[in-house]
């Protein structure tokens, strides 16, 4: 399970999920809502509802450890991109 604090690039997250073989879930931090991001319809509903109701804080987790590597790489790249943006704006 990974805590995602800022998902400005949702399209990149979806691309990372598409590389996964098994189910990937997006869940509100209170645990009341959970959506399977492998379902195209569910992913759009999930992102809209969770961002609206819970701000920019939600969890992403995989049903397979194999897929965690794909998403960990996405989060590393996202973090590096954000750090670079901060350096440029400073």
List pLDDT tens digits, range 11-33.
Answer: 778 888 999 999 999 887 788 88
**50 has a pLDDT exceeding 80:** no
Average pLDDT over residues 35-46: 88
What is the extent of the structural domain holding 12? 2-89
Residue 22's pLDDT is: 94
Q: Write the CA distances from 89 to 75, 81, 82, integer angstroms.
A: 21, 12, 11
> Into how many domains does the chain fold?
1
Q: Which residue has the higher pLDDT, 44 or 53?
A: 44
Rounded Cα distance between 7 and 59, Å, is 11
Burial of 40 (0-12, 13-18, 19+ CB in 10 A): exposed
**85 has a pLDDT exceeding 60:** yes
Mean per-residue pLDDT of the chain = 79
pTM: predicted TM-score of the whole model, two decimal places: 0.68
Assign residue 37 the CATH number of its domain.
3.30.1340
Residue 86's pLDDT is: 83
How many CB atoms neighbour CB 35 within 10 A? 21
């Amino acid at each position: 399970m990974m805590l995602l604090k800022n998902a400005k690039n949702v399209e990149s997250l979806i691309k990372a999920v598409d590389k996964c073989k098994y189910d990937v879930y997006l869940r509100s931090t209170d645990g009341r809502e959970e959506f399977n991001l492998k379902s195209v319809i569910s992913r759009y509903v999930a992102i809209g509802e969770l961002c609206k109701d819970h701000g920019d804080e939600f969890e992403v987790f995989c049903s397979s450890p194999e897929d965690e590597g794909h998403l960990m790489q996405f989060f590393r790249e996202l973090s590096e991109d954000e750090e670079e943006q901060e350096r440029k704006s400073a």
